[in-house]
Structure 1
Amino acid sequence: MAVTSTALASEHAPVPVPLIVDTDTASDDCFALLLALLDPRADLRAITMVQGNVGFDQQVHNAFLTLEVAGRLGEVPVYLGAREALGGGWVGAEDVHGDGVGGQRRTNDATPEPEHAVDALVRLAAASPGEITVVAIGPLTNLALAIERDPSFVSNVRELIVMGGSLDGVGNITPAAEYNIYADPEAAAAVVGAGFARLRFVTWSPVTLRDAVFDANRVARIEATGTQRAAFFVRANQAPFDFDTAHGAAGSTHPDTLSVLAAIDPAVVVEEVPFVMTVALEGERRGATDVVPANPGDANCTAITLADGELLFETMLGILSR
């Protein structure tokens, strides 16, 4: 029997990467979700929500709006998790994101699953041990609670990619601390020390500030496609674009989207280095990440030190132009 070219293409198509995205959905988190929802290389199993960028109920709204924009409502479950840091309280970033979507409103009345996000993380990882990549693009509260709930969560997760921290001591909420780590340093310390076999960081500085920036020309190219998704991006991106450029960046920053792309496309990672990382828990440096280069056998994580920013942009341009 002859084998068709279609069959051959199917036979050699890459197997989608099973993903869970843990998110504090606002702006770039929404764009990262669009990538995970629409790129055929991603098999998004769940969205888990954690305290972070904007008010929790607004984050939930933003997640369902993003599912609506992606045309994936009812296909990917949303689970609600921690509304406060491990030590209590919430540190928002509404000065950066506004409401996270530029005032856009969802038209759907979808509701989250009744199961708590921490229970869902533990259950899904246990059901597919060694298969699921978790991409954590908010504070690490849910992940720390999952480790506490079931220590085998650490070995059941194939890979944990964290957007957070800094390699050179440059923060974005304090002079030394990046927001996701600062918002729950105790959770970050627990995750870093848990012993994940593959723990990878996409940091704020230097990689985001150098390789994950969409300047005005790139935003204009997205807008020029004229699609609903492009319009959603431009409006949701305006507040962080204005904030980032007012604070010295060349455009809006997209580390969350880079984190998802790193999970599904190794080509975006140009250089990755093993480190021993610790998290400062006291004083003016609370929430800062201290890193020392290490041999792979001695390291507790790796961090992307050089990424292909053009590949990141072109990938998102393709997703948003549909």
Structure 2
Amino acid sequence: MQKHQIIIDNDTAQDDCVTILLGLTDPTANVRAITTVAGNVPFDRQVANAQITLSVAGKLGEVPLHLGCRQPMLRPWVSAEDVHGDGSGGLQIDLDPGAISEEHAVDALIRLTAEQPGEISIVAIGPLTNIATAVVKDRAFVKNVKSLFIMGGSNNGRGNTTPAAEFNFYVDPHAAQIVMDAGFEDLHIVTWDPITIRDATYSRAQYDRLTSIDTPIAKLFKKVCDATLDFNESVGIDGSTHPDSITLAALLHPELILEEGRYRVDVETQSELTMGYSAMAWEKFGLQANAHVAERLDGAAFYALLEQMLHTPSVPSRPVHGLEA
């Protein structure tokens, strides 16, 4: 079986951790690198969360970890700590400096895709600062990427950070627009609304079933997701949300994509009222499409993938403090 060669570009907290775990355990995936970008939680906390996740999967030091842009391009950084806490449920790890590459994430993205043009896909599940910076630094980068799967925006729907904007596009809208204009030949977007809140949100009863599994990976899953589930319920979302991991799943298992449309996607960068809003124009408007936008994903099949992932045995690379609590 030929595996998908992937790089996961993320702001490591909650479902980013789940995405990394899915990439490391799914038999169809070969994770070539993890790259981090400013997003959900303070950057150094993201580094710890990434090492915790890699360690629990037994892969710390085996999968390269590259640190990327610590700030959005033009705007101040905005966190999602009110949603995710520290992103790891209070877990701690004694960092392994040797498991962090000295190569910047942007340089790694450019180098890896240039070494194997047309063979490596990128799953971008945080703000798009690293991806946009790679576009600007090396114009060949766009053509070297096999496919780019983005978790971001809403399909002319509601946001989750402002009424108009989803978090990833809101944090760095300028980067998002650079990526939309860059000319990626195979660009896919998985949205917050409708995809996440309809197809990738699981009730507390479903969540309890997943977290009753007795493996290190399942224990980590519960630790990183508990705070977000509590927050979701407090704002009227009935369950645990998994926008990032279903984005990776859509790449690895395209049969999960039940409906998908071609759109011209642009991201608002000027208006403070609608900053980060994703305008998705369908064919009626006569604009050249730049993205495949998921319109319906198979949430039940994705839930089965999560269950399979959580049953995967692993031996942590180094101790993760609080995992057994």
TM superposition score category, shorter chain reference: over 0.9
Give unpaired runs (5+ residues) of structure 2: 313-325
Equivalent in 131, 144, 148 of residue 143 of structure 1: 131
Shift of 1:185: 0.4
Equivalent in 133, 138, 141 of residue 121 of structure 2: 133
Equivalent in 102, 110, 113 of residue 101 of structure 2: 113
Residues 42 and 79 of structure 2 are in contact (CA less than 8 Å); yes or no, is this contact kept in structure 1? yes
Which residue of the partner structure matches residue 239 of structure 1? 227
Residues 261 and 292 of structure 2 are in contact (CA less than 8 Å); yes or no, is this contact kept in structure 1? yes
Which residue of the partner structure matches residue 173 of structure 2? 185
Residues 237 and 252 of structure 1 are in contact (CA less than 8 Å); yes or no, is this contact kept in structure 2? yes
CA distance in 2, matches of 1:293, 1:245: 33
Residues 20 and 134 of structure 1 are in contact (CA less than 8 Å); yes or no, is this contact kept in structure 2? yes
TM-score by length of 1: 0.94
Note if 1:28 corresponds to 2:15. yes
SS of aligned partner of 1:291: strand
Q: CA offsets, 1:194-235, max 9 Å, x none?
A: 000011000000011000012111211112222221111112
Moved over 4 A (4+): none
Which residue of the partner structure matches residue 3 of structure 1? none
Which residue of the partner structure matches residue 199 of structure 2? 211
Q: CA offsets, 1:237-283, max 9 Å, x none?
A: 01110111111111011010001111111111111110011111122
Note if 1:61 corresponds to 2:48. yes
Which residue of the partner structure matches residue 227 of structure 1? 215
Which residue of the partner structure matches residue 4 of structure 1? none
CA distance in 2, matches of 1:269, 1:169: 19
CA distance in 2, matches of 1:266, 1:234: 27
Residues 275 and 294 of structure 1 are in contact (CA less than 8 Å); yes or no, is this contact kept in structure 2? yes
Matches within 5 A, 1:70-109: 70-107=57-94, 109=96
Bigger shift: residues 240-249 or 19-28: 240-249
Note if 1:299 corresponds to 2:289. yes
Shift of 1:107: 4.7
CA distance in 2, matches of 1:35, 1:121: 20
Shift of 1:181: 0.2
Equivalent AA in structure 1 for residue 182 of structure 2: A
Bigger shift: residues 214-223 or 146-155: 214-223
SS of aligned partner of 2:149: strand
CA distance in 1, matches of 2:64, 2:287: 37
Residues 168 and 206 of structure 1 are in contact (CA less than 8 Å); yes or no, is this contact kept in structure 2? no
If asked which structure has higher relative contact order (CA below 8 Å, sep 6+), I would say 2
| Matched residue count | 309
Equivalent AA in structure 1 for residue 301 of structure 2: L
Q: Provide the aligned C-alpha RMSD in A.
A: 1.4
Give unpaired runs (5+ residues) of structure 1: 1-13
CA distance in 1, matches of 2:287, 2:114: 26
Shift of 1:294: 2.6
* Identity of matched residues, %: 45
Residues 10 and 126 of structure 2 are in contact (CA less than 8 Å); yes or no, is this contact kept in structure 1? yes
